[in-house]
Structure 1
Amino acid sequence: MVRWIIAVIVVLIIGLCVYVSFSNKLPDGLGVTDGLLKACPASPNCISTQAEPSDTIHYIEPIVFTGESKDAQLLIESYMLAKEHGRLVTSSFGYVHFEVKSQLIGYIDDVEFYFPEADSVVHVRSASRVGYSDMGVNRNRVRQIQNLLVN
């Protein structure tokens, strides 16, 4: 009986890993279009500073910074590479896209930063590619970056 239970658990874990592997494809529509990042899906595994403030599931406040936007962008890039173990997908002046892979299961989050030219603000979209809930990981990530730029 114990061997049967272990076999079922192993099969479920392998199935989950295969599902995550095939589902972790780069989504279409990332980047900035007419000053906007891609909208969040209905699932609660995405947050965005450009969601409607009344959308309490997806909305998070934009990050306000002082100084030059290039310095803020470099600080965020350094943080994401060091602390989040992010993989830099795209970096140009005013826009950065990272993939952050969870260590346990291998879920990938797409984390985008947009620095409008005329503002001292960073817009962020952080979204999981797979699953329904992210257990607050994306919101916590953005809060840490907010703290990084405020301090």
Structure 2
Amino acid sequence: MAKPQLASVDGELAPCRASRCVSSLTQEPAYRVEPIRYEGSRESARLALMRILAELPGVKIVLQTEDYVHAEFTSPVLRTVDDLELQFPRRGQIVHLRSASRVGYYDFDGNRERVEDLRARFEAMQP
């Protein structure tokens, strides 16, 4: 299966168009998650999130820049792939997120749970 287009040309995360996606940049309640908020520097937040991702099973970092991370999560049984994107805006101490399954219609809240688990792990690391 071809990789989906993720971050749009203007640097924004792609919108969610299916029930197997969540994003902090949408106002649609069914797809909405809160961004991750942090104290300190953007680089420190990015490095902390990269450490967390490195500890999770089935994760492959596809692309990493100073303001964007794309990670693929491969499920252990069905070998399906979900895409997680993290965007680190230059203003404000927030991280925008988008997590989406590549196949299927409904993900049984797997992407929402992934984002909330990532948030909880990140918050636990904060002073």
Same fold (TM over 0.5): yes
2:31 pairs with 1:48: no
Describe how 1:1-151 pairs up with structure 2 within 5 A.
24-28=1-5, 30-41=6-17, 43-52=18-27, 55-151=28-124
Percent identical across equivalent pairs?
A: 32
Q: Superposition RMSD on alpha carbons, in Å?
A: 1.3
For residues 9 and 89 of structure 2, the distance between their equivalents in structure 1, rounded to whole angstroms, comes to 12
- The alignment's TM-score, normalised by the length of structure 2, stands at 0.90
**Alignment coverage as a number of residue pairs:** 124
Bigger radius of gyration: 1
**Structure 1, 66-75 or 122-131: larger mean CA deviation:** 66-75
Whether the 8 Å CA contact 2:84–2:98 is kept in 1: the answer is: yes
Deviant stretches of 4+, over 4 Å: none
- Unaligned ranges ≥5, structure 1: 1-23
Whether the 8 Å CA contact 1:40–1:58 is kept in 2: the answer is: yes
- Unaligned ranges ≥5, structure 2: none
The alpha-carbon distance between structure 1 residues 32 and 66, as it changes in their structure 2 partners (threshold 3 A), is farther
Matched residue SS, 2:50 = helix
Any idea what the Cα deviations from partners look like across 1:74-104, whole Å, max 9, x if unmatched? 1111211211431010000010000100111
- The alignment's TM-score, normalised by the length of structure 1, stands at 0.77
Any idea what the Cα deviations from partners look like across 1:16-66, whole Å, max 9, x if unmatched? xxxxxxxx32012x125435200111x2100000011xx121010111111
